[in-house]
Every structure is written in C-alpha cells, then in structure tokens.
Amino acid sequence: MIKLEILRYLKDERFIEWMLKPTDELDSYWEVFAAAHPEEVAHIEQAKAYFKRIKLGHYQTTAQQRTETLNALHKSLNAHRRKKQIRRIAYGVVACAIIVVLSLTYFYGYMHSSSELTETADYIVGSELESESILLITGGTSTVFDSDVAIAINQDQSVSVSSGDSETRTIAIDEDTTNKLIVPYGKRSQVTLADGSRVWLNSGSSLEFPSSFEKGEREVSLTGEMYIEVASNTDKPFYVYTPHYRVNVYGTAFNVSTYRDSPSSVVLVEGSIALQSQQQDGVLLMPNEQAIFSPSTGGFEKRKVDPALLTSWKDGYLTFEDTPISEALKQIGRYYNLSFNFGEHVSLQGMTCTGKIILSDNVNNVMTALSLISGMAYKMEEGLIYMYNNNDE
Amino acid sequence: MANIEFSSIEHVYNANLDILYSYGVSIGFTEHIVMDAIHDVFFKLCTQYSSLSEIDNLKSYLFRSLRNRLIDIKRTNREFAELSDREVDDLPFQIRVTIEDDLIKKEDAREIKQQIEAFLSLLTPRQREVIYLRYMMEYSYEEVAEIMQISVLATRNLVSRSLAKLKDKTLIFYLLISLAI
C-alpha cells in the first residue's frame, strides 16, 4: 500500500493544482518547499508518479461499438465510392467527347504527330478502380474479406469460410436468418447452400440466401451473375429471385446474369427451369437455350446457345464468339474491376472478337489476349488502358 | 482525386477511437452522438484527402475535426433545445476522475477523487478542456490552440491564470517560511 507521506500530497489541493495546471507561481512554491524540506523530495517525486496513474476524462468503447462503427464507416465509404464511380464514368464520357473534338480539329492536319496514341481518336480508355472487399452479412454482423472466398453452410448452424491463403473460419449463424454475400467488381466467390446446391458468384454480384431451407420452398435472391447447380429435391421447389423475374427450378444447372449494364439473361445447362416475370409467366427453358429478358416488354426472348460460352467464367476463362468488343470489355472490366469509357464516336463499336481468354491474375496477359483475338492494340500507361485500332497506325 | 482507402485508415481508426470517444463524451455529448460524429470525421478524412501524408498532424486534425463536428451537431439541434448562440459555443466540458490503483485504499481514492473534482469545479469549461488536452493527451500549447481554434497566447492564459484562492495561501506559506527562518 502507498505510504502515508506520499498520500498526503495526492490529497493536497496545491499539489493537485500543480500537477494539472502548473503556473510559475506554483513552480516556485514547490521549489521553495522542496528547498525547505529536502527529505520530502523523494516523496514528492513518488506522488507525481502516482498522480500520473489517475485517469481523467477516460471512457472506453465496447468491442461491439468498435466493430459496429467500423462496419458503418466501411459501408458509407463503399456507397460514396460507387456514387463517385458513376460520376467518373460520366466525366469519362465527356472527356472522351472532348478528346474526339480536339483530335478532329487539332490533329487533322498533323498526321505525323509524334505520339502514337493521339494519331487516332478511335480508342477506348480504361482505368483501374480501387479494390473493394467481399462482404458477408449474417444476421446482424458483417465480415469483410480481401480475397475471393468459398463459403459453405453447415448443418450445425455455422458457416465455413475459406479465403485465399488464410485458414478456414467458422462463423455461427441463426437458423432463421437471411445471409447476404456481396462480391465487388474484381472479386469472385463460391457458396454451398444449406441443401448442397453450389453457386459460383461472379464479380459485382450479391446473393441473399437463408441459413437453412426449413420451409417448403427454397428461395435465394440475386443481383449480378451466378452459375448454380441446384441439388435435386422434388419436395422443395427452388426459386431464384432477380430484380425483374423469378426462375423456378426443378433440379438443374444454369447461369443467371442480371447486370444493370448488360441484358439480363438465363442460360440453362441441364435439367429444366421456368421463368416468371410480371408480364410473362411460365416460360419453359430447355438445355442449351438462353432466355433474354426485355425490360421494355417485360417478357423473354429465347435462342439456342452453346452454354459453355456463357458459363466459362466460372472455370476461369471467358469465351467470345462474334462478341462486340464493348461487351467483351464490359465482362473483363467486371472481372478485373476496371472501368472502360466507350465513346459513341468510335468505329471500334462495330468490332467483334472470337476466342478464349484465360482470366489470369495479370491484367496485362488478359489485355494481350484480347488484342490477339480482336486485332486491336492496347497500351497501359499510369493506370489507364488505351485500346485502339491497330490498322489505323 | 483518389480517396483514402478504408484498409489504410483502419489502424488509425482503431488506434484513436477510444481517445476521440473520451474527448467527445467529456465535451458533453451522449455516446451515440459521439460515435456518429467520429464516423463523420473519418468519412470526411477518407473522401477529402487522397493520402494520410497530406495531413500535418493527424492526431490534432482528428481532435479538431471531432470538436467542430460536435459543435455543428449542437448548432443543428439548437432549434429543438432552444439554445442561444453563446450556449451553443460553450461546451460544458467535464472531466471524470477514475482511480483504479490497487495500491491506494478505497477511502483514500475517494478522498483524492473528491479533491481533484473540487479543484476542477473551480475552473471554467474551457480551462478544463485545455487541461484535458495538455495533461491527458500531452499536447503542446500550439496543438491545443489548433484544436480549440484559439490563439496560443489565449491557451496559455487559460491555464496560467492562477486561482485567486491560491495566491493567498502562497502568501501565507511564504510568510510561515520566512518566520521559520
């Protein structure tokens, strides 16, 4: 216990004031005091040390407050970034238009300009966007992952998450909660649902799914794109809700794509499914058929396709067959979190590409592959990607 | 302009959350409002700067931003609380005293606490705030002035002005000493 000689100072008004609010007067007061009582100097020093341990105006946040506010901050920053991206693309379009006008007026007479990029107005500019994290929301808590994840719902009310190089984590969930997995552009994930159905979630997608399928029906909601292999169970029909329509599943594998900037479509690989929008009910799809949703009519158009072309992303490559270059760039942009600005002027708009592109970790390899199959050239400079027509040079 | 990424401020957030929270609560706001204000401060930091290195003194930037944000919130709420301009700008700064020292007996701790509280109650809220920043946060006068947005001289005056009561006592003490000699 602290000695009485020291305690005396801690209770002393002048000592307290000296500690908290030292003034010249107080300094000299204690100097004189110490000079008069040299035997007290050691006690005073110890009293000072004790006083330092007293906490003033000290409050502590709880662990729950910390994680909640940190998540809230993360969320608002992501929302802000998305808004900004939209603005950036809009600026980009304007910038492109300005470049065209400048190029046409200024460079018209200067065919032998030194910069190879400004020789033609026909190029598409792409820029890398800041990377976002994958977000898993289970009940009231959300968890953030920096690299692609594989998630499996277990029977014992928990979720196993394996992410990149780190160990598998287990998160407890309630039986009756709905979970949400948000995968930003540039990332991918896999989910094994409670009934064993397997989902490949593509970049820029989110999937809502329950912790268990106790009820009579199995229901999930999707925005973006997924490939799903539904576990067969005739007692419990499986429904996929998208912003515009519902897919009724009868044990099967298919691909649903509902990106806002591309036509929404469903491709059936095997089994059978029916589509149901507000305007059109019971559109039955056969294997190797694709149904494209038409926002103007609210109905579907069917056509024969090779499903491998449209589902190869889940196996790590993209397949194009007479695909417009703009559509190919959209797909690559989503996968690598790049933003491409398409000017309306560009003759590139009519160009198509045919071939396979392996989705490697290096964007450079992908762009090289795209140049090869499209006959275009590309250049990367300071985080921007320029695509231009090779033949124009 | 690029933003500061969430991942690069996460550690700054964790390292400063408790001291910012303590400051906000001491200024006189409820924990909920303080947490909201801290959120706003970091949001603004991330969206207005492209790198943390653009800020000279990050810690005092955070304190100043939080203080301004809380005053803003108070101004917005004024209509509901019917406060005058003066009342809004006068923050009722209070300092809670906590003694968690095993070496000090409970009754002694209570007595020390009462003494410190008695001393603090003689000060104005602004003086208490300067003491808090100087003593607890160990800020220099320059930093305190920056956070409270007053001049360095005013900051010094706020703490160097002695309480009249003490002067008398000092005089008596000098007197006693001179008599003893």
Q: Does A30 touch chain B (CB under 8 A)?
A: no
For residues B1 and A381, give the distance between their C-alpha atoms in angstroms, rounded to a whole number.
18
Contact A330/A349 with Cβ under 8 angstroms?
no
pLDDT of B164 reads: 45
Q: Note the pLDDT of residue B88.
A: 53
Q: Where are the beta strands (DSSP E) in A55-168?
A: 55-56, 123-128, 134-138, 141-145, 149-153, 158-163
Q: Do A70 and B13 touch (CB under 8 A)?
A: yes
Would you call B138 an interface residue with chain A, using a CB distance cutoff of 8 Å? no
Mean pLDDT of A349-374: 78
DSSP state letter for A120: -
Q: Do B173 and A1 touch (CB under 8 A)?
A: no
The DSSP call for residue B135 is: I
Distance CA A18, CA B2 (A): 48
| Element holding A219 (H helix, E strand) | strand A218-229
- Which of the 8 DSSP states describes residue A186? T
Q: Select the residue of A53, A70, A73 nearest B101 (Cβ to Cβ).
A: A53
Degrees, nearest 5: CA angle A116-A119-A123: 90
Nearest Cβ partner for B103 among A2, A60, A130 = A2
A20 to chain B, any CB pair closer than 8 A? The answer is yes
User: pLDDT digits over A276-314, tens only?
Assistant: 888 888 888 888 899 999 888 888 999 998 888 888 888
Per residue in A173-222, pLDDT tens?
Answer: 877 778 889 888 888 889 999 888 899 999 889 999 988 887 778 999 99
Closest among A341, A338, A357, A358 to A349, alpha carbons compared: A341
Strand partners, A182: A135, A206
Residues 6+ apart with CB under 8 A from A301: A291, A292, A294
Which residue has tokens 């307290």? A16
Q: Which residue has the tokens 């001393």?
A: B119
Indicate the helix (H) or strand (E) that contains A281. none
B97 in contact with chain A, both atoms CB, cutoff 8 A: yes
Probe site for chain A from B67, B102, B104 (most A CB atoms < 10 A): B104
Average pLDDT, chain A: 79
Give B82→chain A minimum CA distance, Å.
28
Which of B14, B22, B115 has its CB closest to that of A58? B22
Cβ neighbours, 10 Å, residue A345: 16
The answer to whether B21 and B41 have CB atoms below 8 angstroms apart is: no
Q: Which residues between 128 and 157 in chain A have a beta carbon less than 8 angstroms from any beta carbon of chain B?
A: 130, 133, 146
Q: What is the pLDDT of residue A93?
A: 58
Bridge partner list, A179: A138, A209
In chain A, what residues touch B120 (CB-CB under 8 Å)?
A: 20
- Which of B150 and A108 is assigned the larger pLDDT? B150
In chain A, the percentage of residues whose pLDDT exceeds 70 is: 83
- Give the side-chain half-sphere CA count within 13 A for A245: 28
Most B CBs within 10 Å: which of A73, A75, A131, as the mutation test of the B interface?
A73
Phi and psi at residue A137, in whole multiples of 5°?
-110, 120
Is a pLDDT exceeding 90 seen at residue A70? no
Give me the mean pLDDT over the A136-156 stretch: 80
Contact B23 A57 (CB under 8 A): yes
Sign of the Cα pseudo-torsion (B106, B112, B118, B121, in order): negative
At B107, which helix (H) or strand (E)? helix B106-121
| Local confidence pLDDT in tens for the 181 residues of chain B | 567 888 888 888 888 999 999 999 998 888 888 999 999 999 999 888 888 888 888 888 999 999 999 988 887 766 555 555 555 567 788 888 888 877 888 888 999 999 999 888 888 888 899 989 988 888 888 899 989 888 888 888 887 765 544 445 554 555 555 555 4
On whether any CB of chain B is under 8 Å from the CB of A69, the answer is yes
